[in-house]
Amino acid sequence: MANITIDGVTKRFGEGNNSIVAVDDVSLEIDDGEFVVFVGPSGSGKSTLMRIVAGLETQTEGDIEIGDTVVNQLGPRARDIAMVFQNYALYPNMTVEENMSFGLKMSTEMSDEEIETKVTSTAEMMGIANLLDNTPGELSGGQQQRVALGRAIVRDPNVFLMDEPLSNLDAKLRTEMRTEINRLQNDLGVTTLYVTHDQTEAMTMGDRLVVLNEGDLQQVGTPLECFYRPVNRFVAGFIGSPSMNFFSGTARAGMLQCDGFGYDLSERMQESAGSHGELDLGIRPEDIELHDESVDRNSFEVAVDVVEPMGSISYAYCRAEGQDHDDTFVVEVDGQQLITEGQTLYAHIPSTDAHLFDRATGETLHQRKLDSEIEAAPTEQSQNAGASSSQL
Ligand code: ADP
């Protein structure tokens, strides 16, 4: 097992004006046994960074250390890593057993008997012991992915690298395999880097997230840190599903004038905003309240555009006065709450749950309060409780 250091790594593809900076001066320390998820939209540099750690791509600048050894000059085989890809990459003409034992036969001194024992016990752990004589073509996508994972596990590597390993599976299987990979990583304790563009996978799997955008490192933190304490508007919008709602506004005399409504900034918000005038107000769907009447100055009339029932909750897409269908924001409401399309309601944005971002830089200026902080300031808590008691 091993820790990994990514030190000032930049990767440029191409030359001159046409060159693309896929990874831009990224530095990162990954602890031994840690499960770290690289997450970001398509093209943000996740795969390139992982391929550099694997030795499949060479960085333009910077160093990669695995277990305190600089591995820049080492090829993938010498790095003692095992990779799992989206497309499984199994040998089609080999049986499951041959696929799983191939790497061991090529790269270790283990006897055939030892290899067989190891493959059998891993196949049992992965629930594929009954498939050892089948070829990949005879297996479902989920079974093939288990074989690919099993093949990585038998190698007993220092590091697992997984690049969107669940993308080809249907939704139900993906959820199952997500839990299983979590459990395996916990049990085996092998340092794991996992690439995904799916923020649900990122939230549920990693000890820490590495959020990337356009090759730039945005934030490194636990899933909950990235969710509750996003460092900028990009992370705030990317982590969490559905995304945080943003309202652009201009601050003047303690009031944020947004399209369709005015928002009274609390004293704390005004202090955080300082002299920044052009702001984005951010609020998560579960933190907006919908009332049948105005509850205070920070309530504004909305028309309900679309309601999406999800079961225990529904998503109500609303728009403020004068806004059109492209300008809706989403509110999470209780699934049993009767809200109909076309209904007029009042949206209330509690100041304790709101974030503020500088419009030009995207930098976070103001963070929501956490429950523990609200408990320490009972006045704000009771204000909030009063508002929610009159919720629909
Ligand atoms: P992600 O994994 O986040 O989708 P990638 O790491 O695959 O992103 O790509 C990052 C950027 O680098 C993209 O703009 C992509 O087009 C570019 N890129 C990746 N690989 C190559 C390559 N071999 N040649 C040229 N450009 C590449």
Q: Are residues 215 and 139 in the same domain?
A: yes
Tell me the CATH number at 312: 2.40.50.140
Give residue 243's pLDDT band: very low, low, confident or very high (50, 70, 90). Answer: very high
Do 333 and 224 belong together in one domain? Answer: no
14 CA closest ligand 1 atom index: 25
Element (H, E) at 239: none
CB of 18 shorter than 6 A to ligand 1: no
Most ligand 1 atoms within 8 A of CB, residue of 10, 13, 210 to mutate = 13
Residues 6+ apart with CB under 8 A from 323: 259, 260
Q: Residue 105 carries which DSSP code?
A: H
Same structural domain for residues 63 and 206? yes
pLDDT (0 to 100) of residue 314: 97
Whether 253 and 215 share a structural domain: no
Among 176, 203, 233, the domain boundary falls at 233
The first and second tokens of residue 112, run together, are 């055939």
Give backbone dihedrals phi and psi of 239, rounded to 5 degrees, phi first.
Answer: -95, 125
Cα of 214 from ligand 1 centre, angstroms: 10
Question: What distance in Å separates the CA atoms of residue 295 and residue 347, rounded to the nearest whole number?
Answer: 9
Q: Verify that 332 and 196 share a domain, yes or no.
A: no
Question: Rounded distance, CA 320 to CA 302, Å?
Answer: 5
Is 364 in contact with 355 (CB distance < 8 Å)? yes
pLDDT, one tens digit per residue, over 189-221 is 999 999 999 989 999 999 999 999 999 999 999
Examine the domain organization and report whether 134 and 249 are in the same domain.
no
48 lines ligand 1 (CB under 6 A): yes
What CATH code is carried by the domain that includes residue 66? 3.40.50.300
The residues, any chain, with a CB within 8 Å of residue 175's CB and separated by 6 or more, are: none
Rounded distance from Cα 164 to ligand 1 centre (Å):
15
With a cut of 90, say whether residue 386 has pLDDT above it.
no
Q: What is the pLDDT of residue 388?
A: 35
Q: Do residue 142 and residue 13 come from a single domain?
A: yes
pLDDT of residue 264: 95
Give 15 Cα–ligand 1 centroid separation in angstroms. 15
Do 229 and 252 share a domain, yes or no?
Answer: no
Does ligand 1 come within 6 angstroms of the Cβ of 91?
no
* 249 and 181 co-located in one domain: no
Cα-Cα-Cα-Cα dihedral sign, residues 316, 213, 43, 52: negative
Phi, psi of 141 (to 5 degrees): -60, -40
Residues 258-317 pLDDT 10s: 998 999 999 999 999 999 999 999 999 999 999 999 988 889 999 999 999 999 999 999
Which mutation among 9, 18, 48 tests ligand 1's pocket best, with the greatest number of atoms within 8 A of CB? 48
Residue closest by Cα to atom 5 of ligand 1: 45
Same domain, 38 and 111: yes
* Gap between the Cα atoms of 98 and 119, Å rounded: 9
Same domain, 222 and 287: no
Give the structural domain span for 32.
4-233
What mean pLDDT value characterizes the chain?
A: 91
Is 40 near ligand 1, meaning CB less than 6 Å away? yes
Counted domains in the chain: 2
Domain finish residue from 173, 206, 233: 233
**pLDDT tens readout for residues 152-196:** 999 889 999 999 988 888 888 889 889 989 998 998 899 999 999
**Per-residue pLDDT band at 383 (split at 50, 70, 90):** very low
For the record, the structure tokens of 189 come out as 């304790």
| pLDDT tens digits, one per residue of 346-382 | 999 999 999 999 999 999 999 998 887 777 765 544 4
Q: Whose CA is nearest to atom 25 of ligand 1?
A: 13
Say which amino acid occupies 69. Answer: T
Percent of the chain residues topping a pLDDT of 90 = 73
Is residue 108 very low, low, confident or very high in pLDDT (cuts 50, 70, 90)? confident
Of 183, 204, 233, the last residue of a domain is 233
Residue 19: CB within 6 Å of ligand 1?
A: no
Same domain, 252 and 194: no
